[in-house]
Structure 1
Amino acid sequence: MAVETTTPGPADDGIIDAEIVEPTRMDRLREKAGPHSARARQVLAAQRARVSLRLSAWFSTADVTDAELAAEIERKRRQADRRQGQEARALAAGLRAQIKAAPSEEAAAPLLAQLAALDAAGPDADRMKVSGRDMSKARWAKKASRVGMVAAGTYAGFQGFAMEPLVALAALGTGGPAAWWYLSRPLSPEEIPAVPVPEQGGPGLGPAGVPAADGPFVPDTLASMSRVSLVKPESGRVQGEADLVTALVKAGIITPAQRDETHLAGVIEPAGPGWTATVDLPRGIKASAAVSRIEDLASALRIKKSRIEITPDTGDDGHEGRFVLWVANEDNPYGNGKHPSELIDAPAWDFWGDGVPLGADARRKRHVLHLLWSSLLIGGLMGYGKSYLARLIAAAAALDPTVRIVVITGKTGPDWAPLRHVAHQWIAGASPDIIRRVLGVIEGTITEMQDRGTELDRLYEQDPDLVPEGKITRDLAAKGMGPVLLVVDELQELLDGAALVQVPIEDEPENGGRAKTRSGRDLMVEGFARYVRVTRFVGGMGIFITQRPDASSVPTALREVCAKRASYRVKGDRSAKMVLGDDAVAGGAAPHLLGDASKGVVVLDQGEESGHATLKADVIDLPEFRDICLRGRQLREDAGTLTGDAVEYGKEDAEEAARVRLLTDCVTLLDDLGYDRARTERLLEILQSHIPGRYDEVTKTELQARLRAAGAGTTVKLGRIDGMANPNGYTRAQIADAIPRKKG
């Protein structure tokens, strides 16, 4: 920085003007001291924060844990017991002396009774138990004593100042700085309070009380924000390991005596919209003990059970006595809105490689389902989203032209109608005839898939590299041996309908008489289970959906062969086990704990070591599903993989589209020309002149036949038109009324 000076003149006598030099020197001093002053202010702010935290914790007794308080209560009771024991022993000695000096047995009898009563009144073991009420009373007593101490000290200080002001000032000058230094020293990890966790830590955060190397100084109250978390302020905050262990005690997961054996593996830390902690239980206590007491833990934490997830720790460092706890910040961490699936806008999809994008869990982690080589069972109450989950899988399959789709649904309706554009076979209903057809389709599909297995054997003998793992490959799928997806909806309706059907199991009974039969229900369960078992290695997959998760609608034989299972909300853990199995529920899968607001939330167990996941599934609405299936049809037509029922359905659909197109063309041209009616000959002329490529070869008779088939009816008398008195033709309203109206 340049120094401004002046040249001495006659009037100056060689003296430099101080008004110019002094401000320049002060500027240099300020520049030099500036960073130190800023740091000093930051240090002072940190010291003030620590003093405030320590004083606040001291007055609220937050520095005393429940364990320390309970130990103090027990110590005082033991001291009282010792005093009472000493008094009792002294009294007993006096009674024995009186008994010895008694003149007769009658005189000694009352004394003996007193001595016996005194011996019987030993220490009360139950008295040593510390209840929550005892803890509350002791904590309030400690708070009151600390407030009283401060009040007494303040009063004594004022009295001392009034009597000996100099002595009081000297004591304050000596003790004040020492007290300030003690209270403002850096916080230890045990003293760091619970604070809300920010979305993202800012730059410059260093250890408690120490600035980061390349960032500004931050008080340790802010630096600790990434270490701990808390739930809602009104719902019992978790301030560290001691608080969490106390909650485990109150939930009955561990006993008070096991408190010291329970520890956190790491620290409480933020995880998505909530916080997580990994807990090591005492030796001999299984993680399943915590999983089964979610509701008790929610009560101990004063939060709703929907906010808690407990899973056994299946990581590399995990063991059977360790679990992972996650607590959401909100009662409904999944939100109430719908998340549209990325499949809606996808031109095509690689079902083999990309799997099925399902949705996100409460921590905002996306999940993908890889169904190839396995099958999925979906259960839950009505109206919570089972069909939407299956629709995601079907949509991904529809957009992959190598996947063959077979649809069997126990009731008619529009839910699966769009798949008729691509499905190799499509069956709806549960009448006896349809049940017999379903049994035939399952048997035929299994036979066809077993023929694939024979072909794989032949290819393996020819060249083992063509079938490296004894399964179909991408190359084989592209050549026509693609995966087969079986979609079975309303399983309970199909099984109920099949229970009413008796199926012959022999062609010609021996010695005449009636042929032996079996229940269609038993055959259907066996058929579905056999399909899953024997077609897996040749690309067979199944989705089985039921609304009534009980033993009759979820046969064990079928559930056990479905490696993947998904459950929406159910009533009770028994129903949850019907869908997911005992092991999954024991491992923390809890669809029975989902509430009314959990629509779209599914508990998915993919049969992996990582356990289950609870997530909110993406959504594809019915009109969007139809658009996806139409794209899938075009993909199959281009690839030459459109087969079965979809081919015939496409013909009918194409004919219907042509009929609607004719009606629309007629109405559009009549409107363009301003006509409200037209003779048959004139209408044909208009169509051929404006849309020649479509109607060039059409005759008058053919036009009448096509309009009649499209629903416009026969010609009508038009009155005077085109110079004719009353020729035949069509009115604009007559044709327009035949155009199908779109629903909604």
Structure 2
Amino acid sequence: GRLLGRLRHWVFDGESKPVRMNARDRNDSEVYMKLREARNEAVRRRMAPVMVGLVVLLAIVYLAITYVTPFWNWTVLVSAMTLVGWWGAPADKPVAGRAVDGVKTPKLTSDAIVSALGSLGIGELNKALAKKPDAIGFPNPIQRDGDGWRADIDLPLGVTAGDIIAKRQELSSGLRRQIGCVWPEGDAKIHEGRLVLWVGDRDMSKAKQKPWPLAKPGATVDLFKAQPFGTDQRGRWVEITLMFASMIIGAVPRMGKTVSLRELLVIAALDPRAVLYAFDLKGTGDFAAVAPCAHAYGVGDEPEDIERMVAEMRELREEMRRRIKVIRNLPESVCPDNKVTPELAARKDLRLAPIVVAVDECQVWFEHKEYGEELESICTDLVKRGPALGIITILATQRPDAKSLPTGISANAILRYCLKVQGQTENDMVLGTSQYKNGVRATMFARTDLGIGYLAGEGDDAKIVKSVYKDATDTKKIIAGARARREAIGNVTGYAAGEEVDVEAARLDPLADTLAVFQRGEDKLWSDVIVGRLADLRPSQYGGWTAQNLATALKPKGVKPKQVWATDPETGKGANRNGYTRDALTTAQNNGQ
């Protein structure tokens, strides 16, 4: 057998395979074809003598068996060799050992669980076991559940599922299983002391994931329907519905946050109608593979990059306002719920196709000295009002805190995906208030649990999900098909179509423009008068601005609105309203210089 294996490796030129595969992976078709032709020529040269040799060998064996040695001699020889081989084999290296199933783990028993829980060092638990050995209850039999074992456990009085979840690493040691196989969860629907323990046959982070259905050639997506996002501990697909929702993704660095966000962008790209805004503030180009389908694409945090993104987000804010007017003016028979429907999204005349905005490392925006407050205001508005208008906002950060995820955003996001985080505050910032207390703790994930997190908002309960990993090469293949389908329906716009962004729009100086609308002799103006004049001054930039927009734009300049006495230009009557004085604006401008 070994001889035949070596012979096959030589005949089919196995030595050159790594070189050929390397050329293929580098997409170097010229080198690959040359190597392939050389290999085929070598195989042709080597195949002929080998075939002749095998025929001769088989003929010799056949003649020897038939005419030289009687059959019974062969029988005795083979039997004797078998007996001698069995008798002479070393005791620790048998010729044939017992069949071993290397995948199936030993049965999970109640004794093993009680022993493991008792080793966690939880005071109340140990006291209860000392008084009553059967203090830990098992309301249902321990049974197989997918590729693992499931145990429903009633913990002693005063011990919560969260106490056990916080010690997942110690629990895996007590069960003598890999940490990636041990998944404790709470079931608050029963009571706080109900623990659901699932112990898998394989480490979830290392187990081979089923082929992603959306990676098949020709796959398309309808964002109004649920799509496969990842698999749970049992290997079952978990779906996510992006439409009518905003989403937050949080994790410490290097846990798969960006890859998960890129997967969501790929899902959106597979809907030929969808308009994509992809912003990579980390600056590493992780979204470059999706760029051929993106209406807006930005990478990096240099001043010119931020200015371009600000211009695109202002454009998006105006698009949201346009959609509000369109929805408001549609008859009730066409739009009964005042939101975008699949039928409305399909109508090209209304231009209400889904818009997906993905921002990685969003804290870079919200902490920006010049544009931070404006970008926060735009994103908050999109998260609050955008979902009903077909605008889906997905924000990801490696620092889930109040600055990175402002309250107006974190409180209104429906979908949440939290990979490993460090503490309770970060956990609840991403997953929602009291989730840590309820036993949904992303702090339990290990550093090896790459791409694994809690998905909340899709159903009543948060689920542990492993997102789909597709590297840049695989992503490009999927996006190439998505791009072709977009070209077929004429939906390649913005960045993907090679259009330039009006960066000048991001370089506006609201303070200087506000001073410019003061006429001779006017020392005070109300805010609503100022925004009206700004809209006349630069309609494309200030059209639709409110007094609040003006206040947000001028606050970083060091000037805030206050009650001012001014005359109404139409009636000629004076009144006290929120506004600005020329002196305050001039002082702020001089201080800025």
The answer to whether residue 333 in structure 2 is matched with residue 465 in structure 1 is yes
**What does residue 263 of structure 1 align with?**
137
Structure 2 match to 1:584: 435
Query: Match of 1:358, SS?
Result: strand
Per the alignment, residue 445 of structure 1 pairs with 316
Separation in structure 2 between the aligned mates of residue 352 and residue 423 of structure 1, nearest angstrom: 16
Deviation, 1:405, is 0.9
Where does 1:294-305 land on structure 2 (aligned, <5 Å)?
A: 294-295=168-169, 297-298=171-172, 300-301=174-175, 303=177, 305=179
Q: Equivalent residue for 1:335?
A: 206
Correspondence for 1:422: 293
Residues paired across the two proteins, number: 396
Structure richer in helix, relative to its length: 1
1:391: which partner in 2?
A: 262
2:107 is aligned to 230
Aligned to 1:263, the other structure's residue is in SS state coil
The normalised TM-score by structure 1 is 0.48
User: Residue 249 of structure 1 contacts residue 255 of structure 1 at CA under 8 Å; is this kept in 2?
Assistant: no
Correspondence for 2:409: 558
- The answer for the alignment partner of 1:569 in structure 2 is 420
> Is the 2:164–2:184 contact (alpha carbons within 8 Å) kept by the matching residues of 1?
yes
* 1:544 positional shift: 1.3
Please, which runs of 5 or more residues in structure 1 have no aligned partner? 1-195, 201-227, 232-236, 502-519, 651-744
Shift of 1:364: 1.4
Could you give the per-residue CA deviations for residues 306-349 of structure 1, whole angstroms, max 9, x where no partner exists?
4432323266xx3444332222345x233255665332224142
Name the SS of the counterpart of 1:452 in structure 2: helix
Structure 1 residue 468: Cα displacement: 3.5
Q: Percent identical across equivalent pairs? A: 25
Are 2:122 and 1:272 equivalent residues in the alignment?
A: no
Q: Is the CA contact 2:230–2:465 (under 8 Å) kept in the aligned structure 1?
A: yes
CA–CA separation in structure 2 for the residues paired with 1:493 and 1:325: 39
Q: Give SS of 1:438's match.
A: helix
Contact 1:358–1:617 (Cα < 8 Å) also in 2? yes
Question: CA shift at 1:377, angstroms?
Answer: 1.5
1:534 aligns with 2:385: yes
Contact 1:422–1:632 under 8 Å retained in 2: yes
RMSD: 3.4
Please give the residue correspondences for 1:281-680 in structure 2 after superposition, counting only pairs within 5 Å: 281=155, 286-295=160-169, 297-298=171-172, 300-301=174-175, 303=177, 305-313=179-187, 318-330=190-202, 332-335=203-206, 337=208, 341-459=212-330, 462=331, 464-479=332-347, 480-496=351-367, 498-499=368-369, 501=370, 520-606=371-457, 608-610=459-461, 612-648=462-498
Q: Secondary structure at the match of 2:338?
A: coil
**How far apart, CA to CA, are the structure 2 residues paired with 1:491 and 1:426?**
14
| C-alpha displacement of 1:453 | 2.4
- Aligned runs of 1:38-187 on 2, under 5 Å? none
Listed one character per residue, the Cα deviations across residues 156-183 of structure 1 (whole Å, up to 9, x for unaligned) are: xxxxxxxxxxxxxxxxxxxxxxxxxxxx
In 2 relative to 1, CA 338–290 (structure 1 residues): closer, same or farther, beyond 3 Å? closer
Contact 1:340 1:620 in 2 (8 A): no
* Greater gyration radius: 1
Q: CA deviation at 1:472?
A: 1.0
Q: CA deviation at 1:534?
A: 0.9
Q: Of the two structures, which has the highest relative contact order with CA contacts closer than 8 Å and spacing of 6 or more?
A: 2
Taking a change above 3 Å as real, the CA distance of residues 328 and 254 of structure 1, as seen in their structure-2 partners, is: farther
For the structure 1 residues 248 and 310, does the alpha-carbon distance in structure 2 shift closer, same or farther, using more than 3 Å as the test?
same
Paired AA for residue 404 in structure 2: S
What's the offset of the Cα at 1:522?
2.7
Residue 558 (structure 1) shift: 2.6
Query: Judging changes above 3 Å, is the alpha-carbon distance between structure 1 residues 339 and 302 closer, same or farther for their aligned structure 2 residues?
Result: closer
1:485 positional shift = 0.2
User: What corresponds to 2:46 in structure 1?
Assistant: none
Show structure 2 runs of 5+ residues with no match: 1-99, 501-593
Residue identity opposite 1:230 in structure 2: K
Pairwise CA distance, 1:535? 0.8
2:254 & 2:210 partners in 1: Cα distance? 17
The alignment's TM-score, normalised by the length of structure 2, stands at 0.59
